[in-house]
Amino acid sequence: MLVMTVTANLLAIVGSAAVGFFAAPIALGAIGFTAGGIAAGSAAAATQAAIGNVAAGSAFAVLQSAAATGAAATAGAAIGGTTAAVAEAARQKRNQERYRKQRPNY
């Protein structure tokens, strides 16, 4: 039983990281941040037009850099895996508290 639980948890974490790895670049591309720069006619292009000169280190600059360098995939994987791990830790804590309530001498 424990091996199945650990395996399922590991699969959830790895699966979430894989989803993040693919979803982050797709999401950036969908709003106009591409490896070749800002896509014409996109939401990113409209935002850049409204901003004017983009400040280095701004959220806009970071998103463009992530899309251009491929860092979005790595960041997406890290965020997805971390989120799944934190969610699993919270679930384990809830289960442990329920068990202790059912068995006060535990």
Q: Spell out the domain ranges in the chain.
A: 2-102
Measured at the CA of 63, the angle between CA 59 and CA 64, to 5 degrees, comes to 120
Looking at residue 101, what is its pLDDT? 82
- Tokens 């280095």 -> residue: 56
Indicate the SS3 state at residue 1.
coil
Tell me: the pLDDT tens digits for 43-94? 999 999 999 898 988 888 888 888 888 776 676 667 777 777 787 788 878 8
- When pLDDT is averaged across residues 13-29 and rounded to a whole number, the result is 74
- Tokens 């463009």 -> residue: 64
Whether residue 16 has pLDDT greater than 90? no
Task: Judge if pTM exceeds 0.75.
Answer: no
